Amino acid sequence: MLKITGLSFAYDKDSVLDDISFSVDRGEHLGIMGESGCGKSTLLKLIYGSLQPAKGELYWGKKQIKGPQYNLAPGESYMKYMSQGFDLMGVTTVAENISEFLSVFYPKELKERTEELLDIIEMKRFAKTKVKHLSIGQQQRVALTRALAQKPEVLLLDEPFSHIDNFRKNSLRRNLFNYLKQEKITCLTATHDRNDILPFADRVLVLKDTQILAQKPILELYKNPGNLYIASLFGEANLVPINIVKSYADTKRKIIVYAHEFKVSQNSGLPVVVKKTYPMGSHYLVEGFTEEQIIYFHSERNMKIETEVYLNISLETINQRLKL
C-alpha cells in the first residue's frame, strides 16, 4: 500500500499542497484531477522523491519514500515516473531506448520483453527508427515503455497521452491500463482529460486550493459530483435551482445537471432560448439562456438561433443529486 500522511509543499512561500493524506492499495489505479496549477504534477514528484516535502511522510508498504535531502538520485527501484518531459536518447533507436533498462545477460528475455512493450504502444514497425526522427506523440509512447520496462510496483503517470493523436489514444489507453491491471501494478495518473481515467481508474482524487476536495470511486463521483467544479472535470455541467426545472418543487435548492442529462421538449419544462450551437459529431452542444442564467444542453439536431425550447430532467437524476 502507498500511504501519504500530512503531506505539505510550497514553492518559495506559495503553498501548493497542504496537509494531504490518502492511501492507494497495491494494484489499484488512482486518478488525480484538478485545474491547472492545483498540484497534480507536484504531488507525483513528491511521491517519486524528486521534491522534498515541507512536512509529512510517504510509505510504500514499510519502506519510507525519501526526498532529495536523503537521496542523491530521486526515485526508488520499485517506482517509475513518467513526466511531461520524456528524457529519451534521441540518437538511439526505439528498441534501444527500451532495452537500455533490461538485462543484456539474458538476450532472449530482453528481445521478448522489448517486443512485448512495443506491442503495448503499437510501435513495432518503428523499432529500428531513431527517436529523434519520431513525432512528439510517438516519443511519448516510447517514454511509456521505458517506465514499464522493469515492471515497477508503482507507476506514476503525468498527462501520459497529452501529445498522442486522438485516433490512437483509445487503443493505447486500453493496452496500457489492461496491462497494469493484469500485472497488478499500482498506478497514479494525473490528468486533465476525463477519458484517461473515467473508463479505467478505480478511484479519483480531486485537488483544489491546496486541499483534497474529494476522493471516491470514480463512477460514484461522476454520478454525484457534489459541486460544479468537480462536475466540470468530467464534462459540460450546469448548476440549476430545482424549482425552475420542476415548477411544483417546494425547494430552491440547486443541483448539478450534466448537459447530456437534459431532455428537450417542444411544449413543457424549463423555457430556454437558443443562442449558439456547436456540432459535436454525434450531437450538438447548445448554449441557451433562461431568464436567470446560461444553460448548456445536448440536442440530436441543430437548432435555429432565438428558438425557444423546453428542458426537462428525469426524476431519477433529481433524486440522485438530492441525496448529496
Q: How far is CA 310 from its chain centroid?
A: 34
CATH of the domain spanning 2-227, picked from 3.40.50.10490, 3.40.640.10, 3.40.50.300, 3.30.870.10: 3.40.50.300
Cα-based angle 211, 32, 21 (whole degrees, multiple of 5): 45
Query: Where do the structural domains in the chain lie, given as residue ranges?
Result: 2-227, 236-322
Q: Detail the DSSP E strand segments found in 116-253.
A: 154-158, 186-190, 203-208, 211-217, 237-241
Q: Assign residue 159 a region: left if phi > 0, alpha if psi is -120 to 50, beta otherwise?
A: left
Q: Would you give per-residue pLDDT tens digits along the chain (324 residues)?
A: 999 999 999 998 889 999 999 999 999 999 999 999 899 999 999 999 999 999 999 999 999 998 888 877 777 889 999 887 767 776 789 888 887 767 656 677 778 888 888 888 888 889 889 888 988 888 888 888 888 888 899 999 999 998 888 888 999 999 999 999 999 999 999 999 999 999 999 999 999 999 999 999 999 999 999 899 999 999 999 998 887 766 665 667 888 999 999 999 888 888 999 999 999 999 999 999 998 899 999 999 999 999 999 999 988 888 888 765
CATH number, span 236-322: 2.40.50.140
Q: How far is CA 28 from its chain centroid?
A: 14
For 143-177, give the DSSP string. HHHHHHTT--SEEEEESTTTTS-HHHHHHHHHHHH
Q: Do domains 2-227 and 236-322 have the same CATH topology?
A: no
Tell me the pLDDT tens digit for each residue of 255-278. Answer: 899 999 999 988 888 899 999 999
Q: Which helix (H) or strand (E) holds 141?
A: helix 136-148
Task: Tell me which DSSP letter residue 121 carries.
Answer: T
